Amino acid sequence: MFPGPSDPFLFHLAVFALALLAGAFAAGRVLRSQRAPLAAMAGALASVAVVGGLLAAGLPDGQPVRVFAFVALLAASAGVAGTFLAIHRMSSVEDKRRG
């Protein structure tokens, strides 16, 4: 029905931008009591991205693939660490409120 995209890069960039907007919209409407489970799920998704980065880094395709895999691995690892720190801080704040 619709013709294919003329430039695949622009198509993928548009999909990425729409995903960012949808994610920001959804995360902005999360209630305070649901933030810790959302952060835990983000950490789980980041850990999947770490595995994907490790798999992509081992591909024999050449140097550009390894560079992008390494950057993805660094970003996903920062996401996992940041999620852990955020959940730890949320837990400590809740403990202070309770007792």
For 21-31, write each residue's pLDDT tens digit: 988 888 788 88
The pTM (predicted TM-score) of the whole model is 0.58
The CA-atom distances, in angstroms, between 44 and each of 9, 18, 47, 77, 97 are 28, 22, 5, 11, 27
Q: For residue 75, give both structure tokens.
A: 């970003």
pLDDT greater than 80 at residue 7: no
Same domain, 59 and 88: yes
**39 shares its domain with 25:** no
Is the same domain home to 23 and 48? Answer: no
For residue 7, the enclosing domain spans: 1-30
Q: How many domains, the chain? A: 2
Max Cα–Cα distance, the chain, nearest Å: 62
pLDDT score for 72: 82
Q: Which pLDDT band holds residue 71 (cuts at 50, 70, 90)?
A: confident
Q: Are residues 76 and 87 in the same domain?
A: yes
